[in-house]
Amino acid sequence: MVHQKKKLVQEVSGWLRIHDDGSVDRTWTGPPEVKFMAEPVPPHEEFKEGVAIRDVTIDEKSGLKVRIYLPQLEPDYTDNNHNKLPIIVHFHGGGFCISQADWYMYYHIYSRLARSASAIVVSVYLRLAPEHRLPAAMDDGFSAVVWLRSLGRGHGSYEPWLNDYGDFNRVFLVGDSSGGNLVHQVAARAGHVDLSPVRLAGGIPIHPGFVRSVRSKSEMEQPESPFLTLDMVDSFLKLALPEGCTKDHPFTRPGGHAAPPLDGLNLPPFLLCVAESDLIRDTQMEYCEAMKEASKDLELLINPGVGHSFYLNKIAVDMDPHTAAQTTALIEGITEFIKKH
């Protein structure tokens, strides 16, 4: 029997390859010095640099998992509601097609946010396209919120880090890039459900993947980066959106004509984080304006002189003073938003 070598059908910016037999290879093939950022960090339940992490399966049937970051508590911590920690539900980016919650690029920034905001971070291992097209990732994100509700109500499962230290009345949704799309979609879905004792206190889309069919000015003028190229925007969304849909779909254009009217959504306060040099800055700002026109509670945080997901690039954070300063400003802005809600 002769085994034919499978043929490469599609490659996307060094991040993803699809073969003629339908198999998907997500091995990083770009510059090797960048590879460490896309490698998994093993969980460690002992505190390292002020944070402990563990992976938990929250749905045995589907295998859905989350990664929990617990910041080290102060010595004078006492177990009462006044000292409970806010909970951040995190949705990773990757254009719905790549990356995992345990990648180093998320570990380095979300362990830092857990310390800065004195918050427990629950990062969801989202299903990926093209094997699992949208709304799969959005269903996973919402399932994580429903799991928190079950913990808060004492139904079945018990997760000590969350049940003992987490404040279910202060749950924030945070997402990077395409994960920012999930912040909007999950918050919109949650607005029509009784989640008590869980209360969504805020949504924080960071450089969300909001786009449209017609190229924006920023897409045509801003420089590309390893974290976002036009090829990634086009190819990943073609693989991730429901078949036959365009980028004007509500998943990628929530303020567009095809989306449910924003003024009819029950949304918590939002902090929209935008990078001045982001390829898709213009469509993020269109979302900002649409939210304001719908009289939604939205704050805007703009980081000047940096591009898409700049804070995830550990090399730039360590080597470039401006990127380091803007990463600190972003963390501080998110921390302030969490503390006042």
**Residue 308 annotated among the catalytic residues of the structure:** yes
**Residue 164 annotated among the catalytic residues of the structure:** no
**Residue 278 annotated among the catalytic residues of the structure:** yes
| CA 326 centroid distance within chain | 19
Closest Cα to residue 124, out of 55, 171, 201, 197? 55
Rounded-to-integer distance, Cα 227 and Cα 240, Å? 17
Can you state the percent helix, strand and coil of the chain, rounding each to 5? 35, 25, 40
Give the active site residue among 177, 178, 216, 225: 177
H/E stretch holding 272 reads strand 270-275
Q: State the angle between helix axes of 104-117 and 321-340 in degrees (0 to 180), rounded to the nearest 10.
A: 50
Rounded-to-integer distance, Cα 146 and Cα 240, Å? 24
3-state secondary structure of 216: coil
Give the active site residue among 102, 139, 278, 282: 278
Closest Cα to residue 306, out of 206, 210, 209? 206
| Beta-sheet strands, E only, within 74-225 | 85-91, 120-124, 166-176, 200-206
End-to-end CA distance of the chain: 65
Q: Which residues of 120-152 are buried (b: 16+ CB within 10 A; e: fewer)?
A: bbbbbbbbbbbebbbbbbbbbbbbbbebbbebb
Residues 279 and 222 sit within 8 Å (Cβ to Cβ) = yes
Give the active site residue among 167, 282, 308, 309: 308
**Active site members:** 177, 278, 308
